[in-house]
Amino acid sequence: MTAFFALIKRDIRIALRQLSDTLIVIVFFVISASLFPFGVGAEPNLLARMAPGVLWVTALLSAMLSFDRLFQNDFEDGTLELLVIAPQPLWLSALAKIAAHWITTGFPVLLVAPLIGIMLNLKPEGLAVLLAAMALGTSIISLIGALGAALTLGSRRSGVLLSLLILPLAVPVLIFGSGAVEASIGGYPVSQQLLMLSGLLLACLVLCPWGCAAALRIANE
């Protein structure tokens, strides 16, 4: 576990040194969500109905900007070879890198999302559920994105392949995430949607690091 947390700290330090890459994700999220009122009009009720879907779609698209470099730098500078032969299981190293990715990209999006929701006239009763669903959903997106990044590592046109792999797999996250916020606004129970997101997160925690480890070994060979 010492090596696990050391790898997380290492990736966070690298992200802080390359702060522009992290800021691009946040700026894209804010700008893309802010463009919707210009396209559909500033009618408050319309924006309130669209707010959950807009927030989730833009959060997914902003996360897509950061996945291609998740393992790429380690692949190019030889760090990946050291991770493969290290005594620590490779799936645990992959999980550490995924955790660092979420801390540097998913968590800032989580913090900004309520502000964008207020701008889009999202009702106050939906903000708490939005935070809970976003915490689960962005974690799932990071896990799925890491698996896609590992599978496309070293391939030509990896960005296009990555999008084709991740976007279909992320559809359930968008459905249950936006559904939870809409249910809370309408006064309906949200436990079902949050439980589905929790189940998806547990499944991804089990499957995605192992899949990343297998794909990284193949790419290293």
Taking only the tens place, the pLDDT of each residue in 148-203 is 888 888 776 666 778 888 888 889 999 999 889 888 888 888 889 999 999 999 99
- Please give the structure tokens belonging to residue 215: 């794909």
∠ CA 59-65-66 to the nearest 5 degrees? 100
CB 31 within 8 A of CB 112: no
Residue 40 pLDDT class (50, 70, 90 cuts): confident
CB 208 within 8 A of CB 101: no
CA dist list (Å): 96 to 6, 71, 81: 9, 12, 16
- Please give the structure tokens belonging to residue 198: 């929790």
Give the residue-averaged pLDDT of 28-57: 83
The tally of CA atoms less than 13 A away on the side-chain side of residue 114 is 14
Work out how many domains the chain is built from and give that number. Answer: 1
Structural domain that includes position 82: 2-220
Q: pLDDT tens digit string along 131-148? A: 999 999 999 999 999 998
The tally of CA atoms less than 13 A away on the side-chain side of residue 195 is 4
